[in-house]
Amino acid sequence: MNESDTEAILPGDLLGAEPTDDRGPEASDQKEAETEVPSRGASFPVSVEPVLFLSMFSIALQAPLATQYLWDRVSEDLGYNGSRGSECGNGSVPPDPLQKEVQTLTAHWNLYLSLGGFSVGLLVVPLLGSWSDLAGRRPVLVISSLGMALQAGVYLLVMYLRLPVGCFVVGRLLSGLSGDFNAILAACFAYVADVSDRRSRTFRVAVLEACIGISGMLASVIGGQWRRAQGYINPFWLVLATNLASALYAFLFVRESVPPDPRAKLLTARHHKAVWHLFRTGGGSREGGGGLQRGKLWLYTLCFFLVVAVHFGSRDLFVLYELSSPLCWGPALIGWGSAALHLAYLTSLLGLKIMQLCMEDSWVALVGLASNISGLVVFSVAYTTQLMFTGYGLCFLSMAATPVLRSKLSKLVGPSEQGALFASVACVESLCFLVGSGLFNSLYPATLHFMKGFPFLVASFILFIPAGIIGTLECLDQRINHRDSPGS
């Protein structure tokens, strides 16, 4: 393996690994000759970007509105008439026990929804991701978009017919069975890796990251204003429409990037066996020894798990934290807060590009973790709107750590193992949703009696673990490189 084979592979490389075929190179060459697919490095000004934009728009529009709807329905069921407004900004007023019960039940329903969707996705996403290496990326995009549309349809039925809020779980299960947003995200990055070369791939991945940030900001601002003006039902019709538009666009306009194999099977143990083999052997890259290689793979995966679990787990609490006293935000402010949260995707991307000019990737990740930790500490004591937005501002580099960790993982395995790594990272990311949501949605109601922002403080302490691991591994690598360098 030459030097170019072991160079850094960015998020697009990780999530979109080269398709592999167990039948050998001759069968692979024959299949490529029979099926015309886009060539690597071909020019596609727009390909899967609209799919990711529309899907992220629907997620960012739906999530805060669903939490607010749960709050209103739980308040109605308990006879809570919104007296939280009298407590806002007045620390002398004792907490309303009924409001505390509303917060607890709403947090629990958020937990049930997360458990329902992501526990199913934990099994489905790796299967769909590995299957797409043989069957093509487009079927995954269409199936997952339709599943998300089906979830929006279930939510609309609950709102129109005033069904029990427990029916929301049915929608989450249906979406999870189709792969949910994780499968769309993985398939989009995989598609970009298929049609781009190494020189253009960084820009294409940056465009996808920008789609996530921009669509999230737009949906957050629109959702808050629209909810205040017209309620919940009309915004959820837009959620349904965007998911259907995403599926239609993928079916009609996305050119397949992988030669489809009609014999490719989805339900097979081959996908999970490849993941197990990868983590048991430590990958086939020559970067480091076998034992050291395997140790790094596990440690960087642990870092990725902790960072993403904290991100998604704490994100579940923001709307609930802002709805209740002493902040008592309305839909408009909640929308602006969610927009500020999504802005970190863009600012982190810009900061990552600038910082890479003067420091190693590991130190870039540490700067991103420091930004995240400082923001979470401020959130834990944010009892005013000004402090809350200060926390959002401090998190402007909070998303810089995850692309570095993905790149680190991709360099630890060989080119033929990127597909297995892609499946494992998708599985870990689904598990992050499950564990993060479960931990923080359980911790929030349990700690309301002594410190409302305690879960954010716990999240900041957890991030010190990956910071320590990344810093230690970077120091060890520098020491090894210095020892092996000529003249040392």
* Residue 87 counted as domain residue: no
Q: How far is CA 179 from the centre of its chain?
A: 13
CA neighbor of 360 nearest in space, from 459, 250, 483, 481: 481
Mean per-residue pLDDT, 286-305: 78
Residue 230 CA, chain-centre distance (Å), reads 29
Q: Which residue has the tokens 């991307």?
A: 349
Q: Is residue 64 part of a domain?
A: yes
For the entire predicted model, the pTM comes to 0.70
Q: Would you call 425 exposed, middle or buried from its count of C-beta atoms within 10 A (0-12, 13-18, 19+)? A: buried
What is the spatial distance between Cα 450 and Cα 459, in angstroms, rounded to a whole number?
17
486 falls within a domain: no
Has residue 8 got a pLDDT over 70?
Answer: no
Note whether residue 330 is domain-resident.
Answer: yes
Going from the C-alpha of 305 to that of each of 7, 311, 313, 365, 463, the distances in angstroms are 23, 10, 12, 14, 11
Q: What mean pLDDT, rounded, does the chain reach?
A: 79
Q: Which of 92-96, 175-179, 422-426, 430-434 has the lowest mean pLDDT?
A: 92-96
8 Å CB contact between 364 and 355: yes
* Total number of domains in the chain: 1
Count helices and strands in the chain by DSSP H and E runs: 18, 0
Position 275 scores a pLDDT of 66
Q: What is the pLDDT of residue 230?
A: 83
Helix (H, G, I), strand (E, B) or coil at 63: helix
What's the pLDDT at 325?
83
Q: Are 284 and 413 in contact (CB under 8 A)?
A: yes
CA angle (178, 443, 67) in 5-degree steps:
50
- Cα–Cα distances (Å) from 217 to 29, 60, 209, 335, in that order, read 44, 8, 13, 8
pLDDT band at 28 (very low <50, low <70, confident <90, very high): very low
pLDDT, one tens digit per residue, over 225-259 is 788 778 889 999 999 999 999 999 999 999 887 78
Residue 174 lies in a domain: yes
Give the domain range for residue 387: 46-82+96-254+267-477
Q: Are 305 and 53 in contact (CB under 8 A)?
A: no
- What pLDDT is recorded for position 141? 93
CATH number at residue 165: 1.20.1250.20
Q: Is 8 contained in some domain?
A: no
Residue 426 lies in a domain: yes
Please give the average per-residue pLDDT across 202-216, as a whole number: 74
Q: Is residue 223 part of a domain?
A: yes
In 254-400, where does DSSP find H-type helix? 270-281, 290-323, 331-355, 361-380, 385-394
pLDDT tens for each residue of 428-465: 877 887 788 888 988 988 998 889 899 999 999 999 99
Instruction: Say if residue 91 is exposed, middle or buried (CB neighbours under 10 Å; 0-12, 13-18, 19+).
Output: exposed
Distance (Å, whole) CA 486 – CA 247: 56
* Residue 168: closest CA among 301, 71, 283: 71
